[in-house]
Structure 1
Amino acid sequence: MPQIDPFSDRTRSFDSPCTRHFPITPQDDVDLAIRPRVLKALSEGTVSIRDAAGTVLSYPVTTGELLQFSAVGVEATGTTATVVGWL
């Protein structure tokens, strides 16, 4: 049976739920191939994220935590948590 999407005729916006997800492999000074709307922590630890200005900050995260941040990169140095990107 085909899936029914009652919202298929609606335009998606930034406050709409995400509909795609992808794994992130932290790499120093490498831009993510796809820039996520949100990061989700799959494990507890620290995630070091780089913004559009090149600034890197590290955040402690808990399992399941959402970072409402569109990271340009996730750095290997300083990252101990496993994160995925949401679009």
Structure 2
Amino acid sequence: MPDRFANTQPSLSGPAASGFAVTPNDATDLPETTRALYVGIGGNMAVRMLSGETLTLSNLSAGSLLPLRVTRVMSSGTTASAIIGLV
């Protein structure tokens, strides 16, 4: 399948080109820093931002797309599930 954008430089404002399932873990970083997170099943989500800050995002709705640069999703404080990291 042709990709008319194959020769353009990806940017943070462009669409994600890849993704991975996120398993919340208090001790392990994600395989890549995200450009966004998709929340399949709503709830709270505790994250470590690229800056190193730890935040808890409360009452996220199912289907939320959050444009966040995240290095870790913690299991402590996270009740949301079916989380996808987009890069």
What is the CA RMSD across the aligned residues, in angstroms?
A: 1.4
Distance 2:66 2:77 in 1: 16
Listed as ranges, the gaps of 5+ residues in structure 2 are: none
Count of aligned pairs: 85
TM-score with structure 2 length normalisation? 0.86
- TM-score scaled by structure 1? 0.86
- Aligned residue in 1 for 2:3: 5
- Measured in 2, the distance between the counterparts of 1:7 and 1:33 equals 25
Question: Rg larger in 1 or in 2?
Answer: 1
In terms of fraction of residues, the more strand-rich structure is 2
Identity %: 29
Greater mean deviation of Cα atoms: 38-47 or 48-57:
48-57
Q: Structure 1, unaligned stretches of length 5 or more? A: none
SS of match in other structure, 2:55: strand
Give the superposition deviation at 1:13: 1.6
Query: What corresponds to 2:57 in structure 1?
Result: 59
Change (3 A) 1:32 1:7: same
Indicate the residue corresponding to 1:86 in structure 2: 86
Q: By how many angstroms is 1:72 displaced?
A: 1.4
